[in-house]
Amino acid sequence: MVLDLDESLIYGSETVLHRDADFQVGPYHVYRRPGLDAFLTGIANMYELAVWSSATSLYVNQVAAAIRPNDIGWRFVWSRDRCTPRMHEETRETVFLKDLKKVKRLGYALERILFVDDTPAKMARNYGNAIYVRPFEGDDDDNELALLLKYLQSISRERNFRGLEKRGWRSRALNDEP
């Protein structure tokens, strides 16, 4: 399970939002997405966890260390230098792609890799492995991670994640509600 950080698990803001940040990394006030700790602890029972962010390594390493629950280890923590820079055809801006071939090289079958991200463009090469979350920007009422935990529990025994239709994951999680 490869996890994005910014807007997926946390929000790093240069200004203080409606409340004090949970922690600070350099100039950034960092807010945890509601339910983050329960989410990470919950999925760690079913998946090996790793972090891959397109931010710079100093920031990524510090955020990954700050949000890691005590008894959980990251399989790896990767940052921008592991991404593949590509010019976006319409915006002409550089997009940092996360190419799961690099994860595969660690010995994982592509069918068994899942990726959680808020930015589809970064997953252009492996959309079959991606679960997209709504971007988090500090909203205290956000419940995306609680839903995602339910969904990930429901599919953890699937043999081929790439063959799963994941676009409607949110409604599947809601339908499973007792």
Residue ranges that bind Mg ion, judged by CB under 5 A: 4, 6-8, 118
Shortest spacing between CB 40 and Mg ion, in angstroms: 16
Shortest spacing between CB 61 and Mg ion, in angstroms: 16
- Furthest CA-CA distance within the chain: 47
Number of H helices, E strands in the chain: 5, 10
Closest to Mg ion by CB, 111 or 135: 135
Cα torsion for 134, 144, 11, 17, to the nearest 10°?
Answer: 100
In residues, how long is the chain? 178
Closest to Mg ion by CB, 98 or 150: 98
Shortest spacing between CB 119 and Mg ion, in angstroms: 5
Shortest spacing between CB 137 and Mg ion, in angstroms: 11
